[in-house]
Structure 1
Amino acid sequence: MIRRLPLKWLHLYVLLSLGVFLYVQGLKYVSGIDNSWVFHHLNDFLTIPIVATLCLWGVWLVKKDFGICLNIFTILSLVALFSIFFEYYLPQQSHRYTSDIWDVVCYFLGGFIFWSLQKLG
């Protein structure tokens, strides 16, 4: 087991992100409000750091090396995957999904936050 969790700032950010996500979802459920920037873009902003951290944990588990970090190409690939799937493919398949360039911007900003916190150590 890990005695000291590496990338403590990244993990703190992800825990706070999960807390904010759960709070906003609870607020959305309780109040019924669904027409706000927060409800439309916050999840997209929080998604990449959370998913990338889970991917990083998977790499650590497989490689047994907690010094490994995701490179910029991997992070940008994750941003591109989410952008293409959620902003291009799904809107063509269902009217429930809409394409929005601001969601892509939020994915990219989330990827930048992940990369920055990972570099910070």
Structure 2
Amino acid sequence: MIDIFKHPIFIFAFLAFWINQFLENSLGIFVPIYHAYGDDLMALPVVYGICLQLMRWIHPLYSELTFSKKQLIIGLVYFSVVFELFLPNYSNAYSADPLDVLCYIIGTWVFYQFMNKPAPQARKSQEL
């Protein structure tokens, strides 16, 4: 089975997020446009990728398992509400920004188009 964790987009998004966190939190280096939107753009391909891989390890469909559009939209709405509506009202560490939601939408689309596929050896795709 080909793991989602080996998918080039997952690896890129995961590394981009953690390198940015290291630069910001350890070295105090902020890349302006990435600081504002990069982590938001990388978040959902990483989160969906981890969730899909975990589900593939335990679900009977294994490598054939993919997420439905409905499931991805629910995840998108959840992230948007929690990080752009709820948390900014309760913590100064978060700020509401409509462009963050656009980043979540793009990240969801990237996951759906390129990562939410059955592994190559799977015979046919079946949604959860």
What TM-score range do you get, normalising by the shorter chain?
0.7 to 0.9
Q: Which residue of 1 aligns with 2:89?
A: 92
Decide whether the 8 Å contact of 1:49 with 1:114 is kept in 2. Answer: yes
Segments of structure 2 that go 5 or more residues without pairing to the other structure are 119-128
**Residues in 2 aligned to 1:75 and 1:15: alpha-carbon distance in whole angstroms:** 20
Q: CA RMSD in A?
A: 2.2
Report deviation, 1:22.
Answer: 2.2
**Residues in 1 aligned to 2:52 and 2:105: alpha-carbon distance in whole angstroms:** 18
Alpha carbons of structure 1 residues 24 and 95: separation in structure 2 relative to 1, 3 Å? closer
SS at match of 1:98: coil
Q: Which residue of 2 aligns with 1:36?
A: 32
Greater shift in the superposed pair: 17-26 or 41-50: 17-26
Task: Report whether the alignment pairs 1:50 with 2:46.
Answer: yes
TM-score by length of 2: 0.79
Bigger RCO (CA 8 Å, 6+ sep): 1
Q: Which residue of 1 aligns with 2:71?
A: 74
TM-score by length of 1: 0.84
Report deviation, 1:27.
Answer: 2.4
Report deviation, 1:118.
Answer: 3.1
Q: Which has the higher helix share?
A: 1
* Letter paired with 1:70: F
Please show how residues 20-31 of structure 1 align to structure 2 within 5 Å. 20-29=16-25, 31=27
**Percent pairwise identity:** 22
**Among candidates 98, 101, 114, match of residue 111 of structure 2:** 114
Alpha carbons of structure 1 residues 93 and 29: separation in structure 2 relative to 1, 3 Å? closer
Greater shift in the superposed pair: 79-88 or 24-33: 24-33
